[in-house]
């Protein structure tokens, strides 16, 4: 059976780790120090971390210094950064972090030509968030609506996007299981790699994702913090 890469998520707001629900913010988690959580994930075997700057995503400040410290002190794992990366300024901020992958926000779809330039510069270090409601792409941070999912899949794939991070926004943070049909649809319309995000609640969900061709990674957040399973169990299910 195929294996997929598992990225435990750390969402940061006002320098503390929090739990997002449908793109909004729930309460702080038990251990609210992002660096302490990162160290716990690494000790449990994580090889990637998904770090989200929620302040930047909601245009309410940023956590650059916190994330920079986290990356500097978490050698040996790869880092994907996300949150508010939808402009040249956001990209410059992300590049300064020297992360292994930059996950562009759905808001970046407002200027596809700029994204094309970013793909040429970053290659497989670039990923684009496709936050989906029904058959439409919308931005979780601003609520801005962009239009047809299939349109953007075709346009961005042709432009050289190497990876899409696909989230059903109605399931994000709700532990209802991933939208497998959505992920199958995306896989049918692009040759780019796909990171599944949103709704992961059980180890069976991870096993189901492994069966979808094109899905080679999964972001897991609330299920870990809600103790639905351990990171070690999730990593074992992913291989």
* Residues noted as catalytic: 11, 131
Q: Are 206 and 232 in contact (CB under 8 A)?
A: no
**Residue 1 class from Cβ within 10 Å (0-12 exposed, 13-18 middle, 19+ buried)?**
exposed
Q: What is the DSSP string of 22-66?
A: TTEEEEEPSS--HHHHHHHHHHTT-SEEEEEEHHHHTTS---HHH
Alpha-carbon gap, residue 27 to 43, rounded angstroms: 25
Separation of CA 8 from chain center: 9
Q: What is d(CA 22, CA 48) in angstroms, rounded to the nearest whole number? A: 23
d(CA 208, CA 60): 37
């Amino acid at each position: 059976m195929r294996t997929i890469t598992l990225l435990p998520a750390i969402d940061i707001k006002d320098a503390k780790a929090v739990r997002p629900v449908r793109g909004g913010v729930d309460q702080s988690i038990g251990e609210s120090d992002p660096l302490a959580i990162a160290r716990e994930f690494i000790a449990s075997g994580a090889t990637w971390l998904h770090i989200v700057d929620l302040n930047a995503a909601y245009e309410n400040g940023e956590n650059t210094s916190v994330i920079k410290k986290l990356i500097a002190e978490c050698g040996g794992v790869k880092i994907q950064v996300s949150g508010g990366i939808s402009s040249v300024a956001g990209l410059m901020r992300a590049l300064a972090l020297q992360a292994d992958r930059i996950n562009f926000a759905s808001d970046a779809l407002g200027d596809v030509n700029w994204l094309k330039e970013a793909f040429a510069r970053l290659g497989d270090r670039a990923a684009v968030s496709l936050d989906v409601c029904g058959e439409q792409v919308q931005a979780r941070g601003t609520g801005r609506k962009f239009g047809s999912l299939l349109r953007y899949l075709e346009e961005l794939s042709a432009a050289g996007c190497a990876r899409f991070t696909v989230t059903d926004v109605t399931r994000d943070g709700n532990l209802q299981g991933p939208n497998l049909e959505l992920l199958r649809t995306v896989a049918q319309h692009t040759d780019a790699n796909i990171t599944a995000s949103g709704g992961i609640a059980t180890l069976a969900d991870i096993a189901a994702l492994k069966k979808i061709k094109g899905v080679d990674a999964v972001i897991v957040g609330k299920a870990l913090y809600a103790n639905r399973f351990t990171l070690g169990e999730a990593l074992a299910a992913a291989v």
